[in-house]
Amino acid sequence: MKDIGFVTSGDGAQLQCFQDYKAWLDEEIYLRFLDRVDLTAFKAIVVPDFSNQDLLRRHARQLNDYLAQGGFLIVFEPNRMDEWLDVVSVQWFSRETEDWKWWMRPGGRMEAYQPEPLHPMAKAIPLADMCWHFFGAFRFPEAATPILNLDNDEGCLMFDLPVDGGGRLIASTIDPHTHHGRRFMPATTRFLNGFYPWLKAEVQTRG
Protein backbone atom coordinates (compact mmCIF):
# COMPACT_ATOMS: atom_id res chain seq x y z
CA MET A 1 0.00 0.00 0.00
CA LYS A 2 1.24 3.48 -0.83
CA ASP A 3 1.41 6.17 1.82
CA ILE A 4 0.32 9.54 0.36
CA GLY A 5 -1.39 10.54 -2.87
CA PHE A 6 -1.33 14.22 -3.83
CA VAL A 7 -4.27 15.36 -5.94
CA THR A 8 -3.45 18.02 -8.52
CA SER A 9 -5.70 20.17 -10.68
CA GLY A 10 -2.69 20.95 -12.89
CA ASP A 11 -2.22 24.44 -11.43
CA GLY A 12 1.38 25.67 -11.37
CA ALA A 13 1.53 26.08 -7.59
CA GLN A 14 0.28 22.55 -7.01
CA LEU A 15 2.72 21.12 -9.55
CA GLN A 16 5.51 23.04 -7.82
CA CYS A 17 4.49 21.69 -4.40
CA PHE A 18 4.58 18.11 -5.63
CA GLN A 19 8.11 18.66 -6.94
CA ASP A 20 9.19 20.25 -3.67
CA TYR A 21 7.71 17.60 -1.36
CA LYS A 22 7.92 14.47 -3.46
CA ALA A 23 10.32 12.91 -0.95
CA TRP A 24 7.24 12.48 1.26
CA LEU A 25 4.67 11.90 -1.47
CA ASP A 26 4.11 8.67 -3.36
CA GLU A 27 2.09 9.80 -6.34
CA GLU A 28 0.70 12.85 -8.11
CA ILE A 29 -2.95 12.12 -8.93
CA TYR A 30 -4.52 14.18 -11.72
CA LEU A 31 -7.93 15.32 -10.51
CA ARG A 32 -9.46 15.41 -14.00
CA PHE A 33 -8.96 11.66 -14.31
CA LEU A 34 -9.42 10.72 -10.66
CA ASP A 35 -11.79 7.93 -11.66
CA ARG A 36 -8.86 6.10 -13.24
CA VAL A 37 -7.14 5.81 -9.85
CA ASP A 38 -7.84 3.37 -7.04
CA LEU A 39 -7.73 5.67 -4.03
CA THR A 40 -7.89 2.73 -1.62
CA ALA A 41 -4.30 1.99 -2.61
CA PHE A 42 -3.27 5.04 -0.56
CA LYS A 43 -3.18 5.45 3.20
CA ALA A 44 -3.76 9.19 2.83
CA ILE A 45 -5.01 11.51 0.09
CA VAL A 46 -4.25 15.24 0.10
CA VAL A 47 -6.54 17.65 -1.75
CA PRO A 48 -4.62 20.94 -1.78
CA ASP A 49 -6.10 24.41 -1.55
CA PHE A 50 -7.41 26.06 -4.73
CA SER A 51 -8.29 22.81 -6.46
CA ASN A 52 -10.78 22.81 -9.32
CA GLN A 53 -14.13 22.85 -7.55
CA ASP A 54 -16.12 21.63 -10.57
CA LEU A 55 -13.89 18.57 -10.80
CA LEU A 56 -14.12 17.94 -7.06
CA ARG A 57 -17.91 17.92 -7.33
CA ARG A 58 -17.71 15.60 -10.33
CA HIS A 59 -15.55 13.12 -8.42
CA ALA A 60 -17.24 13.62 -5.05
CA ARG A 61 -18.64 10.09 -4.84
CA GLN A 62 -15.18 8.57 -5.14
CA LEU A 63 -13.70 10.85 -2.48
CA ASN A 64 -16.61 10.18 -0.13
CA ASP A 65 -16.34 6.43 -0.66
CA TYR A 66 -12.64 6.58 0.11
CA LEU A 67 -13.35 8.30 3.41
CA ALA A 68 -16.24 5.97 4.25
CA GLN A 69 -14.09 2.92 3.58
CA GLY A 70 -11.45 3.93 6.08
CA GLY A 71 -9.33 6.36 4.07
CA PHE A 72 -7.48 9.34 5.54
CA LEU A 73 -8.51 12.45 3.60
CA ILE A 74 -6.88 15.86 4.07
CA VAL A 75 -8.64 18.79 2.38
CA PHE A 76 -7.71 22.46 2.34
CA GLU A 77 -9.97 25.33 1.28
CA PRO A 78 -11.09 27.19 -0.68
CA ASN A 79 -12.54 24.01 -2.13
CA ARG A 80 -16.06 24.23 -0.70
CA MET A 81 -15.87 20.73 0.76
CA ASP A 82 -19.18 21.48 2.49
CA GLU A 83 -20.79 21.16 -0.95
CA TRP A 84 -19.38 17.77 -1.94
CA LEU A 85 -18.55 15.87 1.25
CA ASP A 86 -21.57 13.92 2.45
CA VAL A 87 -20.05 11.07 4.49
CA VAL A 88 -19.55 13.66 7.21
CA SER A 89 -21.22 17.00 7.66
CA VAL A 90 -18.84 19.93 7.28
CA GLN A 91 -20.35 23.33 7.86
CA TRP A 92 -18.27 26.07 6.29
CA PHE A 93 -19.07 29.75 6.64
CA SER A 94 -17.63 32.92 5.18
CA ARG A 95 -15.28 34.85 7.45
CA GLU A 96 -12.68 37.39 6.30
CA THR A 97 -9.28 37.56 7.96
CA GLU A 98 -9.55 40.60 10.21
CA ASP A 99 -6.46 42.28 8.79
CA TRP A 100 -4.47 40.51 6.08
CA LYS A 101 -1.55 42.86 6.77
CA TRP A 102 -1.40 41.97 10.48
CA TRP A 103 2.24 40.97 10.00
CA MET A 104 3.14 44.58 9.20
CA ARG A 105 1.84 45.86 12.54
CA PRO A 106 4.10 46.00 15.62
CA GLY A 107 3.13 42.99 17.74
CA GLY A 108 0.62 41.94 15.09
CA ARG A 109 -0.98 38.49 15.09
CA MET A 110 -3.65 36.63 13.16
CA GLU A 111 -6.75 36.06 15.28
CA ALA A 112 -6.22 32.32 15.88
CA TYR A 113 -4.77 29.89 18.44
CA GLN A 114 -4.07 26.20 18.90
CA PRO A 115 -6.69 24.92 21.40
CA GLU A 116 -5.16 21.44 21.67
CA PRO A 117 -1.39 21.94 21.83
CA LEU A 118 -0.91 18.21 22.40
CA HIS A 119 -2.46 17.25 19.09
CA PRO A 120 0.42 15.78 17.05
CA MET A 121 -0.01 18.32 14.27
CA ALA A 122 0.13 21.21 16.72
CA LYS A 123 3.27 19.64 18.18
CA ALA A 124 4.81 19.35 14.71
CA ILE A 125 3.82 22.80 13.45
CA PRO A 126 3.98 25.87 15.72
CA LEU A 127 1.17 28.41 15.68
CA ALA A 128 3.33 30.98 13.87
CA ASP A 129 3.64 28.57 10.94
CA MET A 130 -0.13 28.16 10.67
CA CYS A 131 -0.90 31.86 10.48
CA TRP A 132 -1.03 34.05 7.38
CA HIS A 133 -4.72 34.31 6.35
CA PHE A 134 -7.63 31.96 5.80
CA PHE A 135 -10.68 31.38 3.61
CA GLY A 136 -13.68 31.19 5.88
CA ALA A 137 -14.09 28.91 8.90
CA PHE A 138 -15.98 25.79 9.99
CA ARG A 139 -18.60 25.31 12.62
CA PHE A 140 -17.01 22.92 15.04
CA PRO A 141 -17.96 19.25 14.38
CA GLU A 142 -18.82 17.54 17.66
CA ALA A 143 -16.52 14.52 17.41
CA ALA A 144 -13.53 16.44 16.09
CA THR A 145 -10.33 17.59 17.71
CA PRO A 146 -9.65 21.25 16.87
CA ILE A 147 -6.14 22.04 15.69
CA LEU A 148 -6.51 25.75 14.90
CA ASN A 149 -9.39 27.91 16.13
CA LEU A 150 -10.37 31.51 15.72
CA ASP A 151 -10.05 33.59 18.87
CA ASN A 152 -12.98 33.16 21.26
CA ASP A 153 -13.81 29.88 19.47
CA GLU A 154 -15.71 31.87 16.90
CA GLY A 155 -15.03 29.09 14.41
CA CYS A 156 -12.49 26.45 13.51
CA LEU A 157 -9.77 26.79 10.87
CA MET A 158 -8.46 23.22 11.10
CA PHE A 159 -9.83 20.07 12.72
CA ASP A 160 -9.17 16.34 12.88
CA LEU A 161 -12.29 14.18 12.67
CA PRO A 162 -12.57 10.40 13.02
CA VAL A 163 -15.10 8.94 10.58
CA ASP A 164 -17.25 5.82 11.03
CA GLY A 165 -15.57 2.84 9.41
CA GLY A 166 -12.07 3.87 10.42
CA GLY A 167 -11.76 6.88 8.16
CA ARG A 168 -10.26 10.21 9.16
CA LEU A 169 -10.72 13.76 7.85
CA ILE A 170 -8.40 16.69 8.44
CA ALA A 171 -10.03 19.83 7.08
CA SER A 172 -8.56 23.31 6.97
CA THR A 173 -9.39 26.74 5.59
CA ILE A 174 -5.77 27.86 5.24
CA ASP A 175 -4.06 27.77 1.84
CA PRO A 176 -0.39 26.80 2.18
CA HIS A 177 0.11 25.19 -1.24
CA THR A 178 -0.93 28.11 -3.39
CA HIS A 179 1.46 30.46 -1.60
CA HIS A 180 4.41 28.14 -1.16
CA GLY A 181 4.02 27.06 -4.78
CA ARG A 182 4.04 30.68 -5.85
CA ARG A 183 7.07 31.45 -3.70
CA PHE A 184 5.23 33.96 -1.57
CA MET A 185 4.81 34.01 2.22
CA PRO A 186 7.52 32.11 4.13
CA ALA A 187 5.07 30.91 6.83
CA THR A 188 3.34 28.73 4.20
CA THR A 189 6.66 27.07 3.38
CA ARG A 190 7.35 26.47 7.06
CA PHE A 191 3.86 24.97 7.40
CA LEU A 192 4.45 22.48 4.59
CA ASN A 193 7.97 21.73 5.85
CA GLY A 194 6.31 20.59 9.05
CA PHE A 195 3.17 19.09 7.55
CA TYR A 196 4.49 16.56 5.03
CA PRO A 197 7.12 14.92 7.29
CA TRP A 198 4.44 14.76 10.01
CA LEU A 199 1.87 13.22 7.65
CA LYS A 200 4.35 10.67 6.34
CA ALA A 201 5.29 9.60 9.88
CA GLU A 202 1.64 9.58 10.94
CA VAL A 203 0.47 7.23 8.18
CA GLN A 204 3.45 4.94 8.72
CA THR A 205 2.80 4.77 12.45
CA ARG A 206 -0.91 4.11 12.03
CA GLY A 207 -0.28 1.51 9.32
We find the least distance from the C-beta atom of residue 112 to another protein, in angstroms, to be 21
Among 78, 126, 136, 197, binds another protein (CB under 8 A): 78
Q: Give CA angle at 25 (24, 26), nearest 5°.
A: 125
User: One-letter amino acid identity for 92?
Assistant: W
CA distances from 177 to 32, 39, 130, 207 (A): 19, 21, 12, 26
Contact 146, 116 (CB under 8 A): yes
We find the least distance from the C-beta atom of residue 10 to another protein, in angstroms, to be 3
Tell me which DSSP letter residue 163 carries: E
Among 7, 9, 114, 133, binds another protein (CB under 8 A): 9
CA 155 to chain CA centroid, nearest Å: 16
Among 4, 7, 13, 45, binds another protein (CB under 8 A): 13
Q: Is 36 in the site for another protein (CB under 8 A)?
A: no
Length of the chain: 207
Q: Is 172 in the site for another protein (CB under 8 A)?
A: no
CA max distance for the chain:
51
Taking the least distance from each CB to another protein, the nearer of 131 and 144 is 131
We find the least distance from the C-beta atom of residue 31 to another protein, in angstroms, to be 9
- The whole-angstrom separation of Cα 5 and Cα 93 is 28
User: One-letter amino acid identity for 148?
Assistant: L
Question: Which alpha helices (DSSP H) does the chain contain, by range?
Answer: 12-21, 53-58, 60-68, 120-124, 176-180, 186-206
Q: Is 50 in the site for another protein (CB under 8 A)?
A: yes
The site for another protein, by CB under 8 A, has a size of 22
We find the least distance from the C-beta atom of residue 154 to another protein, in angstroms, to be 25
We find the least distance from the C-beta atom of residue 185 to another protein, in angstroms, to be 9
Q: Is 96 in the site for another protein (CB under 8 A)?
A: no
> Which residue ranges make up the site for another protein (CB under 8 A)?
8-13, 15-16, 19, 30, 32, 50-54, 78, 101, 181-184
